Chains A and B, each alone.
Chain A
Amino acid sequence: MIELCQATKRYGPKEALHAVDLRIPEGCVLGLLGVNGAGKTTALNLMTGYFPPTSGSVRVDGMDMLTQPRACKRRIGYLPEQPPLYDEMSVAGFLTFVSRLREVKDRDIPGHVKDICGLCGLEEVAGRPVGKLSKGYRQRVGIASALCGDPPTLILDEPTVGLDPRQVVEIRSLIRTLGETHTVVFSSHLLPEVQQLCTRVAILHQGRLVREGSLEELQGGSRRLRLEALGAPEKLLPALRGLPGVQRVLPQETGEAGVTAVLLECEEKAEISEALFRLLCALDAPIRLLAPERDSLEEIFLRLTAGKEAP
């Protein structure tokens, strides 16, 4: 488990991350979302111990990154946005080096490298120099290097950026496979990708954590209800607007005469279904449909990051 506790990072006078509290439970696939400059890469770099926080702390499985860096780093594999590769080395040679770096015993290294190559689909290019590989394969080598030493947590910074559509699908499939056995944290701009792969989402904006939770938690706290009732809109709409807890009533097209369809925007945590039922009974307007309208991740993201974009 990784925890950022009041983690703040300043680059000179610029504050890239402000007092972020984030707890990443074991076994989850967490998507870190944010516009450019939101602090995603800074947060990932703090988690991996690439640099320390200006204030606050980073803990990995209860250990402090500052006081026990080696033990913490053993538990984390990292793929930065630009994979850190030595172009002159062969794929197998590079993975052997990273395995040594990550304290895999010499006698176990050949088998370990072979397993990782198999998992990441690198068997065919194992003998080729890294510098001669396509971008997709380089990304795979980057992910493979993050797997060396078998760390329980993988941190991937925009792993699909700059890849062609086929490579994107392949890398996503690989992340999905890895997510079954590892805790995975990855940053992305692509909301559908996060929706496809993640069990939890954290949204950063201007260096602050503005929302964190499972996709259901993020979408489930919906404040909108879709209502269809039998009755004339002229009669029902004014009554609905006067209902306590309702902020806005947005009429919707139905195409049927004598049916009123609306989207009700309610106050946070307002429980209006009982009052709504009683009101519509009083108006003799039977309910045909009453369902919560879930926000898409895109809508949630846009709402939470609506402020001025970070420079």
Chain B
Amino acid sequence: MTAIWRRELQAYFFTPVGYVYMGVFIALSSILFHLQILQQRSSDILTLISLMSYLWMLLCPVLTMRLMAEDRQKRTDQLLLTSPVSLAGLVGGKYLAAVTVLLATVLATTVYALVIAAYGALWPGEAATGYLGFVLQGCAFVAVDLLVSTLCRGPVTAAVAALGVNFSLWMMDLVADTAPGWLSGVLSFLSLYSRNEPFLMGQLSFASVLYDLTVIGASLALAIHVLDRRRWR
């Protein structure tokens, strides 16, 4: 798994993918920081995190699109699947590489918290809870999009499909608002956005943590299952 993690991490920076992802994320989050914090003279980091969390929806597909689909397209999966590495190690290594880039990007955004702390009022506990939710949500998006990449034959298809899936997850919230009672409850329960709302109120919700971890675990398990099933066909 370590070998795969290292290779995938290198691949992000051998190709423009890693730079594009980090560059665009930081550029867009800087705009949000300017609009929400600097222009409004606000110290409300949770609102900033809430706005930044929508970037996961747009940018996680960039991070995950080639993870599995490119191996399938270029047939490099033959190298991986005939090596002494388990399917869990293969999927886990790739997932952790994407999460490492994601964490590096999140780390870069902590500069906003430092600016707020220096020139405004920052509640460290509140900021830490917000960031925890932000990271968990990002990790969940990466896992879901990695599953999508496993199902697709090429990186471009994987990116478009992942964008569609992420958009649908976001739409769940909008649909939930207008849906009848029980359906609204189900959609809200499943939504990656509404389930993370407690974090954005500064609450450390174990239910939300568990939910994110479940989404991650289930998506990765499904990706492993898809790879295994494909070998039997």
Binding site for B on A (CB under 8 A): 11-12, 48-52, 54, 69-71, 73-74, 76, 78, 80, 82, 84-86, 88-89, 93, 97-98, 100-103, 145, 149
Shortest beta-carbon distance from A49 to chain B in Å: 6
On whether the beta carbons of A74 and B2 are closer than 8 Å, the reply is no
Could you write out 18 A-B pairs with CB less than 8 Å apart? A48-B82, A50-B78, A50-B81, A50-B231, A51-B231, A70-B86, A73-B84, A76-B82, A78-B78, A84-B75, A84-B78, A86-B76, A93-B10, A98-B83, A100-B3, A101-B83, A101-B85, A103-B84
Question: Contacts A50-B231, A82-B75 known; A100 to B84 CB distance under 8 Å?
Answer: no
A40–B78 Cα gap in the complex (Å)? 16
Query: Which residues from B are CB-within-8-Å of A149?
Result: 84
A100–B83 Cα gap in the complex (Å)? 10
A171–B11 Cα gap in the complex (Å)? 30
Contact residues of B between 117 and 140, Cβ < 8 Å to A: none
Say yes or no for B167: interface residue by CB 8 A criterion. Answer: no
B interface secondary structure, majority: helix
Known contacts A73-B83, A98-B83, then 11 further A-B pairs from the complex at CB < 8 Å, ordered by chain A residue: A11-B233, A49-B81, A50-B78, A50-B81, A69-B84, A73-B82, A80-B78, A85-B76, A86-B11, A86-B76, A89-B14
A82–B76 Cα gap in the complex (Å)? 9
On whether the beta carbons of A101 and B4 are closer than 8 Å, the reply is yes
Question: Contacts A88-B15, A103-B84 known; A97 to B78 CB distance under 8 Å?
Answer: no
Query: Which residues from A are CB-within-8-Å of B6?
Result: 97, 100
User: How many residues on chain B are close to A (CB under 8 Å)?
Assistant: 25
Query: Which residues from B are CB-within-8-Å of A11?
Result: 233
Query: Which residues from A are CB-within-8-Å of B84?
Result: 69-71, 73-74, 101-103, 149
Say yes or no for B225: interface residue by CB 8 A criterion. Answer: no
On whether the beta carbons of A52 and B79 are closer than 8 Å, the reply is no
Query: Which residues from B are CB-within-8-Å of A73?
Result: 82-84
On whether the beta carbons of A50 and B82 are closer than 8 Å, the reply is yes
Q: Which residue of B lies closest to A157 (CB)?
A: B78
On whether the beta carbons of B232 and A98 are closer than 8 Å, the reply is no
On whether the beta carbons of A97 and B7 are closer than 8 Å, the reply is yes
Query: Which residues from A are CB-within-8-Å of B86?
Result: 69-70
Q: Which residue of A lies closest to B79 (CB)?
A: A84
Question: Contacts A50-B231, A51-B232, A84-B75 known; A97 to B3 CB distance under 8 Å?
Answer: yes
Query: Which residues from A are CB-within-8-Å of B233?
Result: 11-12
> Which of the residues B10, B80, B82, B231 comes within 8 Å of A52, measured between beta carbons?
B231
